[in-house]
């Protein structure tokens, strides 16, 4: 029986990765906002304790509630004794300095949650939306999984240490990307330099704001368990990058690592749009078909992130065998494979551009005889 040979069409180099950048953070990731491509990662897919970076998810839940009209920015929420006790001035933790049994507008609570990292604001939102903080944490986890953030398990709305409370750096980056896309107006709060409530003015703790050009968010976190971490985003020349890192030793090291990673995000990496959805790449042979070849078509964009220091490491190839007729238009018949050196980076299915009917009986017999003659 005829067994078609395996073919590989190798393209010219299309992108590259240089030597990995170094960082003192225990976990770190850099992603391109427009494409979601991971440009750099270090232990970025392993769950970690996120500390107050948790509040990005708390904010997401609040903004989605506003979108559903379960809340408005003018809605006033009651601050419970428990929210004050565990998150207010009496707690000794990050606080908005809410008064117990006071009623506060959602818009003010959001600023206290984002800028001041108020645990009292986080608990107030949790109780208002789900009845209790534990129920809200369960809802946070369910929603995170619906968003594809599979590493996430939340046990509170604040980021307070809990052995089961975790999310990966990469999933925090994905969450941030979604929030920027879904709620650009509300995202602007993350860039505000300070907020005053109850006579107490507190500055935004993001070490990149006002220091790194284009930085406009998002959230710090620090506990004795997690160390010092940061989710940050910046825009330069119409390109946005998002960085997430955790596990630095203090504010000074966090500030230094933040500048290093965000500088690397723009200065050391690029994203190349290699192909667009609908592009026809090339034709491959059809075995026993009335047409000798059929085209290969992509159904998704192919974007490649690469490190500028080496433009020769990443290549793309097409893996295929001659397609046996009949070929149905739109059927998968090959793959575009992106490799970095000897390591496969990604695969993209390629689909038949046209329908190719099978040869008639005499045509198939003739083709079979010709194949035998050629060996």
Is residue 295 within 8 A of residue 331, CB to CB? The reply is no
Mean pLDDT per block of 10 residues along the chain (375 residues) reads: 34 43 95 95 97 98 98 98 94 95 98 98 98 98 98 98 97 98 98 97 97 97 96 97 98 98 95 90 90 94 82 82 92 91 88 90 51 55
CA–CA distance, 336 with 277 (Å, rounded to integer): 13
Residue 210, sorted as left (phi over 0), alpha (psi -120 to 50) or beta, turns out to be left
pLDDT of residue 305: 86
* Catalytic residue status for 52: yes
Confidence (pLDDT) at 374: 56
Q: Has 219 been labeled as part of a binding site?
A: yes
Q: From 214, 196, 197, 193, select the one nearest 205 (Cα to Cα).
A: 193
All structural domains of the chain: 7-15+273-374 (2.60.410.10), 27-267 (3.40.710.10)
Tell me the HSE value of 182 on the side-chain side, using a 13 A CA sphere: 16
Side-chain-side CA neighbours of 291 within 13 Å: the count stands at 15
Give the pairing type, strands 227-236 and 239-248.
Answer: antiparallel
Catalytic, 277? Answer no
Contact 30, 265 (CB under 8 A): yes
Bridge-based pairing of strands 343-352 and 302-307 is unpaired
Q: Choose the catalytic residue: 80, 93, 94, 117.
A: 117
- Please give the backbone phi and psi of residue 2, each rounded to the nearest 5 degrees, phi first: -70, 130
pLDDT of residue 316: 86
The pLDDT of residue 338 is: 87
- Determine the pLDDT at residue 363: 54
What's the pLDDT at 229?
98
Q: Is 315 a catalytic residue?
A: no
Q: Which of 42, 52, 80, 168 is catalytic?
A: 52
pLDDT at 343: 82
How many whole angstroms from its chain centre is CA 11?
A: 29
The pLDDT value given to residue 345:
83
């Amino acid at each position: 029986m005829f067994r078609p040979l395996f073919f590989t069409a190798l393209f010219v180099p299309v992108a590259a990765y240089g030597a990995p950048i170094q960082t003192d953070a225990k976990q770190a990731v850099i992603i391109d906002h427009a494409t979601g491509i991971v440009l750099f990662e270090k232990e970025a897919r392993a769950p970690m304790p996120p500390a107050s970076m948790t509040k990005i998810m708390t904010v997401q839940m609040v903004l989605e509630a506003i979108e559903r009209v379960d809340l408005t920015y003018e809605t006033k929420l009651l601050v419970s004794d428990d929210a004050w006790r565990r998150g207010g001035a009496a707690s000794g933790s990050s606080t908005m300095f809410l008064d117990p049994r006071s009623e506060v507008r959602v818009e003010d609570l959001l600023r206290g949650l984002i800028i001041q990292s108020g645990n009292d604001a986080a608990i107030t939102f949790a109780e208002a939306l789900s009845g209790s903080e534990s129920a809200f944490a369960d809802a946070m986890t369910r929603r995170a999984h619906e968003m594809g953030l599979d590493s996430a398990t939340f046990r509170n709305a604040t980021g307070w240490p809990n052995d089961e409370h975790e999310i990966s750096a990469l999933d925090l980056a994905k969450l941030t990307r979604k929030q920027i896309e879904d709620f650009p107006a509300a995202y602007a709060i993350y860039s505000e330099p300070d907020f005053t409530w109850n006579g107490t003015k507190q500055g935004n703790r993001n070490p990149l704001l006002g220091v790194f050009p284009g930085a406009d968010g998002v959230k710090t976190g620090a506990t004795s368990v997690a160390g010092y971490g940061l989710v940050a985003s910046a825009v330069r020349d119409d390109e946005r990058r998002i960085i997430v890192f955790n596990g630095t030793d203090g504010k000074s090291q966090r500030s230094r690592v933040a500048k290093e990673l965000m500088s690397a995000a723009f200065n050391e990496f690029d994203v190349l749009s290699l192909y667009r959805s609908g592009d026809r790449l090339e034709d491959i042979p059809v075995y026993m078909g009335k047409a000798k070849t059929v085209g290969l078509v992509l159904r998704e964009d192919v974007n490649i992130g690469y490190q500028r220091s080496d433009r020769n490491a990443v290549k793309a190839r097409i893996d295929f065998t001659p397609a046996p007729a009949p070929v149905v238009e739109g059927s998968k018949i090959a793959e575009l494979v992106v490799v970095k050196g000897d390591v496969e980076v990604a695969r993209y299915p390629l689909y038949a551009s046209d329908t190719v009917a099978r040869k008639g009986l005499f045509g198939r017999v003739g083709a079979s005889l010709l194949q035998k003659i050629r060996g």
